[in-house]
Structure 1
Amino acid sequence: MTTGVRRRMGVEERRQQLIGVALDLFSRRSPDEVSIDEIASAAGISRPLVYHYFPGKLSLYEAALQRASDDLAGRFVEPREGPLGARLLRVMRRFFDFVEEHGPGFSALMRGGPAVGSSTTNALVDGVRQAAYVQILSHLKVTEPPVRLELVIRSWISLVESTALIWLDGRRIARGELEVQLVHDFAALAAISAAYDDELAALLRDVLRDEAPDGPFSDLVVRLIALTSPPTA
């Protein structure tokens, strides 16, 4: 019979393990409710050893946020192939995968948590928003967006965030329906702004020209037509 020997972790390996453990705990409960003792216990080390790698809970929280924000920003990366509506829908599905997997941590980040207001936290949140903004511009093949397009994209990103937070509080709307609705919201915001901007109108026409008959943008058109039609007896 052989006796297993616990391998000693290197400094960076241990740091990454603690970040992973913290993220797992933060995914199930608000970071405010998770103690250093719990993190140490879940990692199989002592409380003082946690402080050897991180000076305090705030620094560990910020390191966990860094990993989470990198993950979240990556959810907006999508191959530039096929109609825009279908691409945005795939992005929304991956985004809500993250929200569902990290609900309490996502909520704490956006609504308030131990690092709220810190320059590090603000920079991480802004970084995710900027990454999403750049990705959407890339999908639209635009390098210098007209002002109204920038407003559309940034407003939509804020709408996605706030919608996800409301959805987490009770999940009263089916997730799949909400993902489609958010793609429709993007199209609606763009269409309204295009009515005031010829450059944006031309861009939107190109997008709609490539839209599939069964795609989410086409579905929105059908729904709007039905909305304006008189009800059948």
Structure 2
Amino acid sequence: MTTGVRRRMGVEERRQQLIGVALELFSRRSPDEVSIDEIASAAGISRPLVYHYFPGKLSLYEAALKRASEDLAARFVEPHEGPLGARLLRVMGRFFDFVDDHGPGFYALMRGGPAVGSSTTNALIDGVRQAAYDQILSHLDVAEPPARLQLVIRSWISLVESTALQWLDGRRVPRAELESQLVHDFAALAAVSAAHDEEMAALLRRVFKGEPGDGPFADLAGRLLALAS
């Protein structure tokens, strides 16, 4: 009979393992509810060894938050192929995959948790928002956005965030419907802005010109016409 020999991990490898373990635990419960003892147990090491790699729970939480924020920001990356409405719908699908898989951690990131209000937390959250903003601009093919377009995109990103947080409280609206609704929300915000500004109207005409009759934006137009009839 042979016995396995536990391989000794290097410093960075162990740090990454602990971050992964913490993220897994934070995905099921709020970080406030997860103890260092639980993280140590799940990683198969002692509590003092966790403190050897991280000075405390806050530093481990911030490291886990950094990895999660990088993952979340990457969800907004989408090839510049096909109609804009379909691209946004795919982005919303990946975004809600993250929210669905990391519910308590996502909620803690946006509304609370051991690092809430810290400069590190705020910078990471702002980084995700900026990544989303930059991606939307690139899909609109606008290098120097007018003020109204900046407001539309920032407002939509905030709406996506708040909608996801509300959805986590019971998941009472079917996810697919919510993803579609948020794509419609983007079009609606842009359309209202275009009604007040010719530059936005010209941009909207260019963007919507290639939208197919069975796409998300056409679906919104059909629903609105049905309400008006």
* Superposition map of 1:1-233 within 5 A: 1-229=1-229
**Counterpart AA for 1:188:** A
3-state DSSP class of the match of 1:6? coil
**Counterpart AA for 1:106:** F
What runs of 5+ residues in structure 2 fail to find an aligned partner? none
* Distance in 2 of aligned mates of 1:206 and 1:89: 19
What runs of 5+ residues in structure 1 fail to find an aligned partner? none
**TM-score under structure 2 length normalisation:** 0.99
What is the Cα deviation at residue 2 of structure 1? 1.5
What is the Cα deviation at residue 152 of structure 1? 0.2
The aligned length equals 229
* Distance in 2 of aligned mates of 1:127 and 1:198: 31
3-state DSSP class of the match of 1:161? helix
Identity of aligned residues (%): 85
* Distance in 1 of aligned mates of 2:36 and 2:143: 45
**Counterpart AA for 2:196:** Y
What is the Cα deviation at residue 206 of structure 1? 1.1
CA RMSD of aligned residues (A): 0.4
**TM-score under structure 1 length normalisation:** 0.98
What is the Cα deviation at residue 138 of structure 1? 0.1
* Distance in 1 of aligned mates of 2:212 and 2:93: 19
* Distance in 2 of aligned mates of 1:100 and 1:44: 27
What is the Cα deviation at residue 32 of structure 1? 0.1
* Distance in 1 of aligned mates of 2:171 and 2:103: 11
